[in-house]
């Protein structure tokens, strides 16, 4: 856009004021349109900058990001204690103790003559000092040869010893060896290569990847009825926690779905995160109790009672307050934390109703601070508005922990159960195929349930190999 020079402007002003007015009006209108466009661009850029700053400031405390994604040094949440590290006064020690019947005894008599002057020590009464050494037995594989005799009766029946093993091959691995492999792979998350290396270093024996796979395949088949029992126990329970996490297999995204109670855990492997994967697990379609989960919408399609994870909401409220500084977010944080503290102290019905009133007041304040909410729209471009609507709509499920004693405040039970799958991904990587993922989930269902019921993992795996059955406490 060109402008008149100073001399041209003076000539035009002296010659014709109407032309000068038209000229200035035209230039003003052009500038006005340009400025309005720039204002719109600036508004969009400011909104984008705020969004990016909020995203940059996200961490595990104010969003759903895991702690492992925190880049900067985490602040210490706990206060520094003046106590020294280690066991405190009155702490019951766990040091080694001598046993009445040691595995072996070795004696070391004193020499018969003095090492310095060669004088005889035969007539001198000696003093004994006893110490018991805790050590490991010699690490070697025992090879047992089984000779099974059979006799055929005149009636045609072949008779063998009742406790004779079934000999399928000339040489085969025993249940103890197979249990040890499963224990390493599915409890300690060791990959194929490291299991082979460990067995070679410790026992001097070479085992193939095919053997490891066959051990996993065999016990997975034996665990099928046990898995069904675990699923049925969760279905019959009053409260269960549900969650899911992503993994990789066959160069595709797969999902591990978890359903847990304080005594039982079940994992399933599926290529869908949502409704189809939940259906395939076989628990939610038949569950009639209270399902504790986050706000992932497919969970709400099932006809059971719903309770929501308040730990997720606390992080969202912290993030919303840091971004917007709205009063209602701070009020709601106080309401949920008050409810958690009251729950720990066996909350009364009167206290529950007071917290409910505080909750409603915070929601009311939220709508006052966001007067431009479009009621017709299901979703807003503002995260704080979406959070406000959600907390208003699902108030009953959010506060269910106040009125039902067995409903937890959060969904940590399910999240802790899934943590081992993240450990597995970091140590061993992804699953080679979907069948491997299914085997791993079935074994982790069994192992995690054993841990909850304080059962020894290795001995429990060995029991399944020996008897193909297992009985859990309810």
CA distance 238 to 409: 15
Q: What number is the average pLDDT over the span 233-240?
A: 96
b/e string for 390-425 if b means 16 or more Cβ within 10 A? ebbebeebbbbbbeeeebbbbbebbbebbebbeebb
Span of 88-97, 203-212, 375-384 with lowest mean pLDDT:
375-384
The H-or-E segment that residue 144 falls in is none
Query: Which pLDDT score, from 0 to 100, does residue 165 have?
Result: 84
Judge contact between 218 and 459, C-beta under 8 A: no
pLDDT digits (tens, 9 = 90+) for 331-352: 999 999 999 988 888 777 788 8
Where b means 16+ CB within 10 Å and e means fewer, 58-76 reads: bbebbbeeeeeeeeeeeee
Question: pLDDT averaged over the chain?
Answer: 88
- Are 292 and 414 within 8 A, CB to CB? yes
CATH of domain 219-307+411-467: 3.30.420
Q: How confident is the model at residue 95 (pLDDT cuts 50, 70, 90)?
A: confident
- Residue 390: predicted pLDDT: 93
If one counts every other C-beta atom within 10 angstroms of the C-beta of residue 255, the result is 20
Report pLDDT digits (tens) over 388-419.
999 999 999 999 999 888 999 999 999 999 99
pTM of the prediction? 0.80
CA distance 457 to 216: 15
| Residue 321: how many other CB atoms lie within 10 Å | 19
CB 304 within 8 A of CB 282: no
C-beta neighbour count of 314 within 10 angstroms = 19
* 3-class state of residue 177 by DSSP: helix
Q: Which of 361, 358, 357, 366 is nearest to 328 (CA)?
A: 366
- For the chain, the domains span 1-41, 219-307+411-467, 310-403
Q: How confident is residue 94, by pLDDT bands cut at 50, 70 and 90?
A: confident
Residue 55 pLDDT: 75
- pLDDT, tens digit, 9 for 90 and up, residues 108-146: 999 989 888 999 988 888 888 999 999 988 888 999 999
């Amino acid at each position: 856009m060109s402008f008149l020079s100073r001399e041209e402007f003076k000539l035009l002003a002296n010659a014709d004021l109407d032309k000068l007015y038209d000229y200035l009006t035209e230039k003003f209108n052009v500038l006005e349109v340009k400025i309005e466009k720039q204002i719109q661009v600036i508004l969009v850029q400011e909104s984008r900058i705020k969004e990016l700053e909020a995203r940059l400031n996200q961490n595990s405390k104010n969003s759903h990001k895991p702690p492992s994604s925190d880049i900067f040094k985490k602040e210490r949440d706990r206060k520094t204690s003046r106590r020294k590290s280690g066991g405190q006064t009155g702490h019951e020690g766990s040091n080694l103790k001598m046993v009445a019947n040691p595995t072996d005894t070795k004696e070391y008599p004193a020499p018969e003559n003095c090492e310095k002057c060669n004088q005889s020590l035969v007539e001198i009464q000696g003093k004994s000092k006893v110490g018991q050494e805790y050590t490991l037995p010699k690490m070697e594989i025992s090879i047992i040869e089984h000779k099974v005799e059979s006799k055929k009766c005149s009636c045609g029946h072949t008779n063998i010893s009742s406790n004779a093993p079934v000999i399928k091959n000339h040489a085969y691995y025993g249940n103890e060896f197979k249990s040890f492999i499963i224990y390493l792979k599915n409890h300690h998350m060791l990959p194929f290569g490291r299991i082979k290396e460990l067995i070679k270093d410790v026992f001097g024996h070479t085992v193939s990847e095919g053997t490891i796979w066959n051990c996993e395949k065999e016990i997975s088949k034996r665990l099928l009825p046990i898995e069904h029992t675990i699923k049925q126990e969760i279905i019959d329970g009053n409260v269960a926690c549900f969650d899911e996490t992503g993994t990789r297999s066959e160069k595709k995204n797969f999902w591990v779905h978890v359903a847990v109670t304080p005594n039982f855990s079940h994992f399933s492997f599926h290529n869908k995160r949502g409704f189809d994967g939940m259906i395939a697990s076989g628990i939610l379609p038949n569950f009639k109790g209270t399902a504790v989960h986050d706000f992932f919408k497919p969970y709400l399609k099932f006809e059971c009672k719903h309770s929501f994870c308040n730990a997720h909401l606390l992080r969202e409220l912290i993030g919303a307050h840091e971004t917007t500084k709205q009063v209602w977010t701070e009020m709601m944080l106080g309401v949920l934390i008050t409810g958690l503290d009251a729950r720990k102290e066996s909350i009364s019905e009167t206290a529950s109703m007071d917290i409910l009133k505080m909750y409603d007041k915070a929601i009311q304040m939220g709508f006052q601070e966001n007067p431009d909410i479009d009621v017709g729209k299901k979703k807003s471009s503002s995260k704080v508005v979406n959070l406000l609507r959600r907390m208003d709509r699902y108030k009953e499920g959010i506060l269910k922990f106040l009125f039902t004693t067995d409903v937890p405040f959060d969904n940590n039970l399910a999240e802790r159960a899934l943590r081992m799958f993240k450990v597995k991904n970091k140590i061993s990587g992804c699953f080679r195929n979907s069948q491997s993922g299914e085997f791993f989930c079935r074994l982790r269902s069994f192992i995690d349930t054993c841990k909850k019921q304080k059962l020894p993992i290795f001995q429990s795996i060995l029991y399944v190999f020996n008897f193909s059955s297992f009985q859990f406490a309810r």
